[in-house]
A = this chain, B = another copy of it.
Amino acid sequence: MLAYEQLTKEELQKELKSLKKEYQKICASDISLDMSRGKPGPEQLDLSMGMFDVFNSHSEIKASDGVDCRNYGVMDGLPEAKQMMADIMDTDPEHVIVYGNASLNVMYDTVARSFTHGVMGATPWCKLDKVKWLCPVPGYDRHFSITEYFGIEMINVPLLADGPDMDMVEKLVSEDASIKGIWCVPKYSNPTGISYSDEVVRRMANLKPAAEDFRIFWDNAYAVHHLYEENEKQDKILDIIKECEKAGNPDMVYEFASTSKITFSGAGVAAIAASNANLSFIREQMTVQTIGFDKINQLRHARFFKNFEGIQNHMMKHAEKMRPKFQAVLSMLEKELKDTGIATWTNPRGGYFISLNIMKGCAKRVVGMCKDAGMVLTGAGATYPYKNDPDDSNIRIAPSYATPEELIEASKVLIVCTKIAAIEKLLEK
């Protein structure tokens, strides 16, 4: 196959005709496929069914420190739950507060608290004329929804192969005191799957923000979500909390994580990790906000995994289920799109997504065509603030929920639509 750029108008038109026929056939075949959200597949959820055998009606529901988990008390997490979440985030239990069922909620709370009560003594953001935020793009749509909901002005920063464009981040953050935060998914990033290099993490920890209340929102959502068992194929990132300490910026970062894609999505345990000063400030709010989160679920998790090795072994079972799905999509893209020169994509070693960049100005068209054919993709633009991909070129592929067979079918649809849109674009020229 030749690159599309090298084809003549006639060749392109011929190819387009054949592709459209193929597309019509797909539309007529009444498919129903979904590659839109990063939901674990049912066979992944089955891996955690042992969670339901951890306790029965004769169990003693007591934490390691003797606390009866069936009653009120313990604001910020059981000792074993703190240890579990610290292990996942590669930090110490004393840096951890364990929350409820979802890290998104913890991030929302963190922004909301900064809005109403400020950050460790600084002016509450609701009293400021302008609050701005750095958003590495493409990124996670639900991060952008939080900052948009609070009327925060979001600034795009390119996400490169080793992390955000740090030249740009350093410059903006040091010059503009209205910039209060940056969204980061440092490992197996959503959606590109890249992990931040040691240099990027260190530069991040060494930022000199103009705003004293600037915080890095370090969403370590895929900390243990590898696709490969081999050590050398697993990404590793530096511990941001330690790096911030070393840099003399101990309070500059909030780290988030949850077990949502480890055990059960939406029924897991979430946590924040930060410096003692940050945690003290957060606890002041927590004592007003809640009587404490679900300790029974915390204990159930800790007992199920026993220790970090238990989590690591468990994640390898996830990897076994996920790997063929990624490979199904990637092999199709490789086979059908590589030579055309109309698309590039990432080949992640973990996480939940593949990021596909197609010809500029084609993403909306492709997502729309796929939808008409019976296949749901994440909305075009969703990976950018305000759902606005300035290039209209990024598509997030979520291969986790469907079967490998379905993913091959889905990839075919996506590929046909991508080709059609590209040729139409080329013929416009």
Enumerate chain A interface residues (CB-CB to B < 8 A): 37, 39-40, 42, 45, 48-53, 55-59, 61, 68-73, 100-102, 104-105, 108, 112, 115-117, 124, 126-127, 142, 145-146, 149-150, 260, 264-267, 285, 287-297
> How many copies of this kind of chain does the complex include?
2
* Contact residues in B for A37 (Cβ distance below 8 Å): 72
Q: Contact: B100 with A101, CB < 8 Å?
A: yes
* Contact residues in B for A291 (Cβ distance below 8 Å): 102, 104, 142, 260, 265-266
Q: Which of B55, B124, B292 has a CB less than 8 Å from the CB of A266?
A: B292
* Contact residues in B for A45 (Cβ distance below 8 Å): 68, 70-71
Q: Contact: A297 with B295, CB < 8 Å?
A: no
Q: Which of B53, B58, B105, B267 has a CB less than 8 Å from the CB of A70?
A: B267
Q: Contact: A71 with B297, CB < 8 Å?
A: no
Q: Contact: A266 with B293, CB < 8 Å?
A: yes
Q: How far is the CB of A61 from chain B (nearest CB, A)?
A: 8
Q: How far is the CA of A73 from the CA of B38 in the complex (A)?
A: 11
Q: Assuming A71-B264, A112-B116, A149-B288, what are 6 further A-B pairs, CB within 8 angstroms?
A: A39-B73, A48-B70, A53-B57, A100-B100, A101-B294, A266-B291
* Contact residues in B for A288 (Cβ distance below 8 Å): 108, 142, 145-146, 149
Q: How far is the CA of A50 from the CA of B116 in the complex (A)?
A: 42
Q: Contact: A290 with B68, CB < 8 Å?
A: no
* Contact residues in B for A73 (Cβ distance below 8 Å): 39, 266
Q: Contact: A296 with B264, CB < 8 Å?
A: yes
- The 3 closest A-B CB pairs, nearest first, are A126-B126, A49-B57, A267-B296
Q: How far is the CA of A71 from the CA of B266 in the complex (A)?
A: 6
Q: How far is the CA of A116 from the CA of B109 in the complex (A)?
A: 12
Q: How far is the CB of A264 from chain B (nearest CB, A)?
A: 4
Q: How far is the CA of A291 from the CA of B45 in the complex (A)?
A: 17
Q: Contact: B59 with A52, CB < 8 Å?
A: yes
Q: How far is the CA of A59 from the CA of B105 in the complex (A)?
A: 28
Q: How far is the CA of A292 from the CA of B264 in the complex (A)?
A: 12
5 contacts between A and B (CB under 8 A): A52-B56, A53-B57, A70-B267, A149-B285, A267-B294
* Contact residues in B for A293 (Cβ distance below 8 Å): 100-102, 266
